[in-house]
Structure 1
Amino acid sequence: MVGFQLINGLAGLLIITSLLVILSDRPGNSARFYALQSLVLVALFLALAEATDSHELYLWSASAFVTKVVLVPLIMYRAFSKLSDPKLGSGAVLSPALSVVLAALVVILCYSVVSGVSLPAAAAIKPALAVSLAHFFLGLACIVTQRNILKQVFGYCLMENGSHLTLALLAAKAPELVEVGIATDAIFAVVIMAVLGTKIFLTLHTLDARQLTTLKG
């Protein structure tokens, strides 16, 4: 029982790190906070592996550490840390206070949805499952409410972490090949978006997504 309490507690930290990623004023800092969040996710995988006696999740933890804690943040930091748009600022449409309120409402709504789930595997981890679902929607909200195209990339990464956690919670015995597929997809997606973001900045000299509404032939 203590193991599941730890899992639910670590899941709560994911929401805090998500807000740090979204509200950070510089993409380089967002990359650092994303690495911190991924480290919490790895710790959650380890706690879940211990609680469910899942050897597969130990392998997931090792793979997630290499890809999510090291490779993906390093790629984003090296690609984004030198890009800045002083006129745009952080690019946030919502104030920090409203963002925190929105995150709380999303978590509450997701918990009300998850509370009706009657799966035996989810009985002790409903708070963590609610957080994983909320995490996906927070990533989507980041994409929608951020004008900074680099911060929108982080929104995708938050969505991916939420989906990854949901899979781990509901399918702890899934083979390592599933984790490898998820990690590979995330790395290639981030590389492609980092290249596109850099090209857009070098061409338009701005990171404002509103400047991408006109197509030129």
Structure 2
Amino acid sequence: MSDRRLTPELLLGAYAAGVFPMAETRDASEIFWVDPERRGILPLDGFRMSRSLARRMRSGRFRATLDRSFPQVLDGCADRDETWINGTIRDLMLDLHALGPAHSFEVWEGEKLAGGMYGIALGGAFFGESMFSRVTDGSKMVLAAALDHLRRCGFTLFDTQFLTPHLASLGGVEITRAAYRARLARALADRASIDAIAMDGDLQAVVQRMTHTS
């Protein structure tokens, strides 16, 4: 059962303060707030693109979209043996998507969802919540497309919450809580908009831009 004492407004206030929610399991009735001592971020100009990933993105088999299938992406992220996305978090994210701050990035192979990621945009900060992959490099392709789009729209901070080995291999780094909050404050003061430009679904163009600027 979802805990409806929590509201979208409360959740946005928590993100703006550097805190985010998690649940112990899918079936947990409560959530807890997390404020890591060391925070994971991925510099918007620091994505590491391997040759094999670049080849896959240039193949012409895949395309990227923004906000085409938010519920499907949210459920794809939760579709694993262990997940922190419970009913409360799912409902709140759907509410935030309807209100505007929550967004999904998708990568498609034909009409098949190959990978997805969702998160929350506030000012010039994007809080990447979770991602999933259904084909080889699916999550890497969606992350590359998202970073490219966010950078072109004027975002300055991409928050990954924690630093996993997977994210570290793609350019993610850890910073202290104090350093993160300073970056967050600057990003929240920015007036970036995820709709500032249209999403470029051409992954070949994404590769060209990202490898040219790296």
Is the TM-score greater than 0.5?
Answer: no
Q: Would you tell me which structure has more helix in proportion to its own residues? A: 1
Report the TM-score when normalising by structure 2.
0.29
TM-score by length of 1: 0.28
Higher strand share: 2
